[in-house]
Amino acid sequence: MSSGYFTVTERAENTTVIERSKFICSISGVKDEAEAKEFIEKVRKTHSLANHNCYAYIADDKGLIQKFSDDGEPQGTAGLPMLEVLKNKKMYKTVAVVTRYFGGIKLGTGGLTRAYGGAVSDVLALAKIADMQQADILKTVLDYEGYSRLIKLLSVQDVAVIDTEFDNQVQVKFAVKSEIKDKVLSKLIDAFNGKIEVCQLSKEYYPF
């Protein structure tokens, strides 16, 4: 696992007009490359009459699966600057499509590069973004009195309760940022005088 990354939690869209050309940037978080390609096709169908539907995506959590397209714009003026914005902002598992309706005025290579890269930066400023960090997903089972104590102990930064099941006892599933896992477990053991069992379910990225 890498140290962490950012991703978009809800699809977002923003439109800018430069020299009468309309640039519509659509951005979304994705699970994998197949989902990124599906998103691109949906935007293309929606804007089938546009002059260009350029895209860029990073489809994994390590920044290794990445692709871009200029879709007819001069080489290197659209998809690449879009991808650079995603890389610089560490936006992984994210796809961006910039749709251009040509307004009749040529922008030149520099103008296009700024327009396409700027379209992605602008939509990211509006989008809901999650900070995905390495986490240990843990579970414990305790009585109701212990549950009340546990919730207070878990109400700190970089710890999040994911799920709670109430029955004769209470089962609590929670995420802890990996770098503070040992500190949190030590705190729980001290608070319960060693009478608490915590098991690890998985290691994954979690939005804190």
Residues 133-171 pLDDT 10s: 999 999 999 999 999 999 999 999 999 999 999 999 999
69-93 pLDDT per residue, tens: 999 999 999 999 999 999 999 999 9
Contact between 134 and 178 (Cβ < 8 Å): yes
Query: How many CA atoms within 13 Å lie on the side-chain side of 61?
Result: 15
pLDDT at 3 over 90: no
DSSP 98-117: EEEE--S---HHHHHHHHHH
Domain ranges of the chain: 4-127, 134-207
- 208 falls in which pLDDT band (50, 70, 90)? confident
What is the domain class of 134-207 according to CATH? alpha beta
How would DSSP label each residue in 121-171? HHHHHHS-EEEEEEEEEEEEEE-HHHHHHHHHHH-STTEEEEEEEESSSEE
Mean pLDDT of the chain: 96
Supply φ then ψ for residue 91, to 5 degrees.
Answer: -90, 95
* Residue-level pLDDT at 59: 98
Output the pTM of the full model.
0.82
What is the phi/psi pair of residue 96, to 5°?
-130, 135
pLDDT at 52: 98
Q: How confident is the model at residue 2 (pLDDT cuts 50, 70, 90)?
A: low
Q: What is the mean pLDDT of residues 44-61?
A: 97
Residue 1 has pLDDT above 90, yes or no: no
The CATH homologous superfamily to which domain 4-127 belongs is: Impact, N-terminal domain (3.30.230.30)
Note whether 27 and 120 are within 8 A (CB).
yes
For residue 102, pLDDT beyond 90: yes
Q: Which residues, other chains included, contact 117 with Cβ-Cβ below 8 Å and sequence gap of 6+?
A: 81, 82, 84, 85
Per-residue model confidence as pLDDT tens digits over 187-204: 999 999 999 999 999 999
Residues linked to residue 135 through DSSP beta bridges, in sequence order: 177, 204
